[in-house]
Structure 1
Amino acid sequence: MTTSERTAMLRDLDIQGPTGSDRLTEHQGSRPLRRGHRAVWSVAAAGAVLLAACGGPPTSGDQEAGGRTTVAEGGDSKLPDCPLEALEKATAPVKIDLWYGGLGGSTQATMEGMAKRFNESQDKVVVTANNQGNAYQEVLRKYQAASPRPQQLPQVIYLEDTALGEMVDKGQVLPAEACMKADGYDTDQLMPAARAEFSVDGVLWPGYMNVSTPMLYFNKVHFQKAGLDPNDPPGTMEEVRAAAQKLKDAGVSQKPLSFKADRWFFETWLTGIGQDIVNNDNGREGPATEASFNTPEAAELLGFLDQMNSDGLLNAFAATEGSIDHYLALVSEQSSMVIETSTASTTIRDALGGQITAAEAGIDFDQSVIDKANLVPGGGPYPGIESPGKVFASGGAFYILNTGTPAEQAASWQFLKFMLQPENAREWHTNGGYLPVVKSVLDEEEVQTFWDTDVAGVLLKNAVDQLRAADPDQAGPLIGPFPDYAEAVQGAFEAVLFDGVEPAAALDKAEKSVNKTLSDYNGN
C-alpha cells in the first residue's frame, strides 16, 4: 500500500481526539528531567482519543446540586435509593435513550452492537443508542445546553472521564453504586484504578467505564534501521529523547517523535511523579479551589519538550479536535514514534488489513519482516519522567441520569449491568479497544489469546499491564469546570512549544486563569 493510499484510508477513519506547526533548528544540547518531589499505527493508525461552558452547579433532578455531599458523619456513604422495583412493576417495555459520542470505527460498532444484543436478551427494556457527535466535547456541550430542561435529557449519557466533577456537582446523576448495592453487584469485581478514578467521596458514579491510558507506539522497522532494539521500547522521556536522537542521526526519520501537545499527557506525567494538578488531593478530598501544577518539575518538563522541539527531535502538533496530523507524520515516515491513547490500537489493527501477523508485530519481530512492510507497529508503556507506565485510568463513562422516571432509572441500570457481564466487558476490550474494567476478564483464555494472536491485542497488552499496576491512590484530577481548566493548561502547553513562551511564564498565566475559574465556579 502506498503512502497516499494509507493517508486516504486514515482520513476516511473516524478520528476522535481530546483536545500544527513545528520548528526545526540544529541540535543545541538536551535538558534532562529531574526526579519529582513525591513518590503505528501502520498503514493507517488512528483512534479514538480522549479529551476533555461551565458555571456553578445548578439545582435540578432528584438530588440537590453539589452531589459531593454524599458522605455522612462517621464515613458511611449516604446513597440515594435505586428504584429497582419500578421496573418490576412496569406493564410495558421501558424505553431509554443513550447519548454517546467520541466513538468511531470498531468502537462505535461495539457500542451499537452492545445495545442491539441487550435488547434481544430481554423484553423489559429497549435502549436506543444515539450518536451525538465525533468527539466527547460535543456530547458534553449538548448536555450542558439541555441540562436546565431535564425533559430534554436522555436516560443514560456517555461522557469523558473529565466530566465527572461537573456531573456530580450538577446533581443530575443517580450514583450507579446505589443500584449496585441494591442489586447485589460487588464493586470489588472492578479494576481498582478504574473504580478509584470514577469515585467521589467513596461513591462510584458511573455504571460502566470504557477505560484507556496513554501509551507509546513506534515503528519497529525504524528502530531496527537505527540500531535500536525493536523489542525494548524507551520507558522514560529521557530514553525517548535518546532513541529520537539515534533515529535522527541515522537519517531514519526527520522528526522522530510525533507529539500532539495534549494536556492529558501533562497531567499524566505530573501525577506519575506524585504531583497533584489541583489542591485538596487533586480535588478528591474536597472541591478544588486552587491550581497546584505550577511547580519547578512542571516547568522543567515543558522545557525538556521545548528543547526536543528546538533540536528537531519533536514533531509537534496542536491538540486540535479531530486532527490526524500526528498520525500522518507516521504514515509518511517523517516520524517514528507517537504517544497516544491505548484505544488507537484497534484502529491500527483494522487498518493493517492483515499485512503482517501478530507474531511479526510482537516479540518475534526480526529483520525478515522489513521485507514485508516499512511500517510495523510496536507498543510500549507510557514513557514517564522517572519510570514507565505511570498512568491513571482515563476514558469514558456511562451515567444514569436521575431526571428520568423511576422505571427509566431502573431500566438504565439494567443496561449498564448488562455491559458489566464479563462476556460484554470482554467485547469492549477485544473489539472496542478499551481496557478490561472487570477483573475476571483478565484471566479469560479468549482474552489472553487475543493478546498473543491479534495485532491490536499485542499492542493493548502494554496498556493492560499499566492499568493493572496503576496506583488507585493517584487518580487523575477531579475538577468541576474542567473545560475551562483544560483550555488554560492546553494554552500553556502550546505557548511553550509553538510561540516561544518561557515555561515559567506560561505556567504562571495558566495558574492565574485556573484559580479564577475555580473561584468563580465555587461561588467566591
Structure 2
Amino acid sequence: DCPLDALEAADGPVDIKLWYTGIVEPPVTVLANAVKGFNESQNKVEVTADNQGNAYIEGLRKYQSASRTPDQLPQIIYLEDTMLGEMVDKGQVLPAEACMLADNYDPNQITAAARAAYTVDGVLYPGYMNVSTPILYYNKVHFEKAGLDPNKPPTTMAEIEEAAKKIKEWDSSKKPFSFKADQWFFSTWLSGVGQEMVNNENGRAAPATEATFDTPESLELLKQLKSMNSEGLLNPFPVTDGSIDHYLALVTEVSSMVVETSTASSTIAAALGGELTAEDADIDLGSVTLDGKKIVPASGQYPGLKAPGQIYASGGAFFMLNTGTKAEQAAAWQFLKYMLQPKVAKDWTLTGGYLPVVKEIISDPEIAKFRETELDGQLLGPAIDQLATADPDRSGPLIGPYRAFQEILQGALENVLFSNGSPNDSLAKAQREATELLTDYNG
C-alpha cells in the first residue's frame, strides 16, 4: 500500500534524498531543473539530488552496501533497468503503481513498452523511467561516396553487412561497422526475434533457473560478426566504462556506422554545435574535431535480425524505497508524480535525449518541431518511433543477478571477436556458466 495520507500529517517539510548515477550532461541539468521546479512548486517536500558516480555500477554498489543498514538509504534511487530484478528480490522497493492507483494516476498514461519492461508480477515498480534504446548512427557522406542511398540506412544485420562491403569496396582502408562488443546489443537482437535469454518466459513468469541463449539464431549472429571481423568489415571494441573509441572511429572516418544508445543523440548534437565540452560529457576527444564536410551524422532504427526497430525499453529508472517513514514514502511519490507531468517529462526528451514515456507528449507540437528542425531531434526520431511500436510482450529478460549474467555473456562475445574463439564453444560455455549463476542465486 502507498501511505499517501502520511504526508498531510507530517510536521513541516519532509526531506527527501535522491541518489543517482549514470546521468551526465545534458540530462543532469534536466534532473536539477526538475528538483528545483518541484521544490519551488510546493512547501511540504524538499528534494535533494546527490550524484553517486558517473557509472550505473557505482550506484548499484552503493545501494548494495547501504541496503544492509536501511536507515542509510535514500528515499528515491535511480538505477539501471538491469537492476530491477535484484531490487524487487530485496523487497525494499515501494511499487510506484500502488501510489499511482491510490492517487488516481492511470498507469496506462505511460507507454506500453516502458511499462512492460519495468513490470514484475503485474505490478509497475519505478515511478519514472529514462528510457533509451539502441539505434544506428551513420555518416551520410560515406554512404554517398560508396554509392549507397544516404537517406536509406540499413534495416537488418544482413543489410549492415551489405553496406559494409560497399563501403569497403569504395575505400579498402575502412572498417565500416564500428561495434562495441556489448551484450546489450546481442540481447536486443535476440529479443527482437522472440528468443529468450533465460527460461520461464525470460524470467517474467517465474524466477529464471536456466540460461537459454545458446540458440541457432545467436550462433548465426556470432558467426556473422566473426566473419565480418575477419573480412575487415567490423571494427570491434571491448566494453570499457567511459570509453568512446567506437564513436571516435566515425569521427576519424575509420568507420561509417555504429550502433549505440539513443541518448547519444543529444551528446553528438551538442558537441557538433559547440554547446558541450568533452569535459561536460565526461569524455576525452583529445584533438579530434568533427568536420561537417566529411561527416554528416544521421540515424536509423536499430537494424534487427529480421526487421528494423525490434527493441525493448532500456535505460534508468527512479525507484521509491520502502525503508523510510510513511511520510517519506508519500513525499517521494509526490516528486515522481511531478516528473510524470507532461511539461517535465517533455524536458527529458527535448534536453536530455531520453525517449517519451508519457504518451501525451509523443504527439506534442514541441516534440514534433524538435524532431523536424533540431539535429538531436532528427537523430532521436527513429528511436521514438521504434519505442512507440515495440512489442510489450518482448520486454527483455528479468534476472536477479543481471550484472554477473551480463559479464558471462560479454565474455562470450569478446572471446569470439578478440581471441578468435569458436562461436559454438563460446556460447555453450557461457550458457553453462550462466545457468550455474542462476542456480547459486536461487539457492
- Regarding TM over 0.5, the answer is yes
- Letter aligned with residue 263 of structure 2: T
**What residue in structure 1 maps to residue 52 of structure 2?**
132
Once the two structures are TM-superposed, the CA of residue 354 in structure 1 deviates from its matched residue by 6.8
Once the two structures are TM-superposed, the CA of residue 519 in structure 1 deviates from its matched residue by 0.5
2:5 is aligned, of 85, 91, 100, to 85
Once the two structures are TM-superposed, the CA of residue 227 in structure 1 deviates from its matched residue by 1.0
**What residue in structure 2 maps to residue 222 of structure 1?**
142
Q: How does the TM-score come out when normalised to structure 1?
A: 0.81
Q: What do the CA deviations read for 1:94-149 (whole angstroms, capped 9, x no partner)?
A: 00111101111101111111111111111111111111111111100110111111
**What residue in structure 2 maps to residue 322 of structure 1?**
242
- Flag the 1:86–1:322 CA change in 2: closer, same or farther, 3 A: same
Any idea what SS the aligned residue of 2:431 has?
helix
Does 2:257 align with 1:337? Answer: yes
Equivalent pair of 1:253/1:335 in contact (CA under 8 Å): no
Q: Distance in 1 between matches of 2:58 and 2:364?
A: 36
2:387 is aligned, of 453, 467, 478, to 467
Equivalent pair of 1:253/1:333 in contact (CA under 8 Å): no
Q: Distance in 2 between matches of 1:85 and 1:482?
A: 36
1:352 is aligned, of 269, 272, 275, to 272
Q: Distance in 1 between matches of 2:386 and 2:272?
A: 25
- Flag the 1:372–1:149 CA change in 2: closer, same or farther, 3 A: closer
Q: Distance in 2 between matches of 1:124 and 1:372?
A: 50
Q: How does the TM-score come out when normalised to structure 2?
A: 0.95
Any idea what SS the aligned residue of 1:378 has?
strand
| 372-381 or 423-432, larger mean C-alpha shift | 372-381
Does 2:205 align with 1:285? Answer: yes
Q: Distance in 2 between matches of 1:281 and 1:253?
A: 44
Q: Distance in 1 between matches of 2:50 and 2:172?
A: 45
**What residue in structure 2 maps to residue 204 of structure 1?**
124
Once the two structures are TM-superposed, the CA of residue 212 in structure 1 deviates from its matched residue by 0.5
Any idea what SS the aligned residue of 2:271 has?
helix
**What residue in structure 2 maps to residue 436 of structure 1?**
356
**What residue in structure 2 maps to residue 455 of structure 1?**
375
Q: Distance in 2 between matches of 1:342 and 1:253?
A: 28
Once the two structures are TM-superposed, the CA of residue 373 in structure 1 deviates from its matched residue by 2.1
Q: What do the CA deviations read for 1:187-222 (whole angstroms, capped 9, x no partner)?
A: 111100000000001100000000010000001111
Q: Distance in 2 between matches of 1:240 and 1:372?
A: 24
**What residue in structure 1 maps to residue 24 of structure 2?**
104
**What residue in structure 2 maps to residue 238 of structure 1?**
158
**What residue in structure 1 maps to residue 192 of structure 2?**
272
Q: Distance in 1 between matches of 2:363 and 2:170?
A: 42
Q: Distance in 2 between matches of 1:438 and 1:446?
A: 14
TM alignment of 1:137-148, pairs within 5 A: 137-148=57-68
**What residue in structure 1 maps to residue 89 of structure 2?**
169
Q: Distance in 2 between matches of 1:501 and 1:160?
A: 30
Q: What do the CA deviations read for 1:365-424 (whole angstroms, capped 9, x no partner)?
A: xxxxx9952111100000000011100010100000000111111110011000000111
Any idea what SS the aligned residue of 1:157 has?
strand
Once the two structures are TM-superposed, the CA of residue 349 in structure 1 deviates from its matched residue by 1.1
- Flag the 1:436–1:313 CA change in 2: closer, same or farther, 3 A: same
Does 2:168 align with 1:248? Answer: yes
Kindly tell me the number of residue pairs found equivalent between the two proteins: 429
Q: Distance in 1 between matches of 2:48 and 2:199?
A: 40
**What residue in structure 2 maps to residue 306 of structure 1?**
226
Once the two structures are TM-superposed, the CA of residue 253 in structure 1 deviates from its matched residue by 5.7
TM alignment of 1:353-432, pairs within 5 A: 353=273, 373-432=293-352
Q: Distance in 1 between matches of 2:325 and 2:173?
A: 58
Identity across the alignment (%): 62
- Letter aligned with residue 235 of structure 1: T
**What residue in structure 1 maps to residue 70 of structure 2?**
150
- Flag the 1:287–1:226 CA change in 2: closer, same or farther, 3 A: same
Q: What do the CA deviations read for 1:241-300 (whole angstroms, capped 9, x no partner)?
A: 111111111017610111000000010000111110000000010000000101121111
Q: Distance in 2 between matches of 1:135 and 1:253?
A: 34
Q: Distance in 1 between matches of 2:225 and 2:43?
A: 55
**What residue in structure 2 maps to residue 75 of structure 1?**
none
Once the two structures are TM-superposed, the CA of residue 331 in structure 1 deviates from its matched residue by 1.1
Q: Distance in 2 between matches of 1:260 and 1:113?
A: 33
- Letter aligned with residue 84 of structure 2: L
Q: Distance in 2 between matches of 1:475 and 1:145?
A: 29
- Is there any run of 5+ residues in structure 1 with no aligned partner, and where? 1-80, 356-369
Does 2:40 align with 1:120? Answer: yes
- Letter aligned with residue 444 of structure 1: D
- Letter aligned with residue 352 of structure 1: L
**What residue in structure 1 maps to residue 285 of structure 2?**
none
Does 2:441 align with 1:488? Answer: no
Q: Distance in 2 between matches of 1:371 and 1:379?
A: 18
Q: Distance in 1 between matches of 2:110 and 2:89?
A: 24
Q: Distance in 1 between matches of 2:273 and 2:388?
A: 30
Q: What do the CA deviations read for 1:165-200 (whole angstroms, capped 9, x no partner)?
A: 000000000000000000000011110000000000
- Letter aligned with residue 307 of structure 1: S
**What residue in structure 2 maps to residue 29 of structure 1?**
none
Any idea what SS the aligned residue of 2:293 has?
coil
Once the two structures are TM-superposed, the CA of residue 324 in structure 1 deviates from its matched residue by 1.1
- Letter aligned with residue 249 of structure 2: A
- Letter aligned with residue 518 of structure 1: L
Q: Distance in 1 between matches of 2:435 and 2:385?
A: 36
Equivalent pair of 1:180/1:186 in contact (CA under 8 Å): yes
2:436 is aligned, of 516, 519, 523, to 516
Q: Distance in 2 between matches of 1:472 and 1:120?
A: 37
Q: Distance in 2 between matches of 1:425 and 1:108?
A: 14
Equivalent pair of 1:225/1:252 in contact (CA under 8 Å): no
- Is there any run of 5+ residues in structure 2 with no aligned partner, and where? 276-289
- Letter aligned with residue 93 of structure 1: P
Any idea what SS the aligned residue of 2:171 has?
coil
Q: Distance in 2 between matches of 1:394 and 1:489?
A: 17
Report the RMSD for the aligned CA atoms in angstroms: 1.3
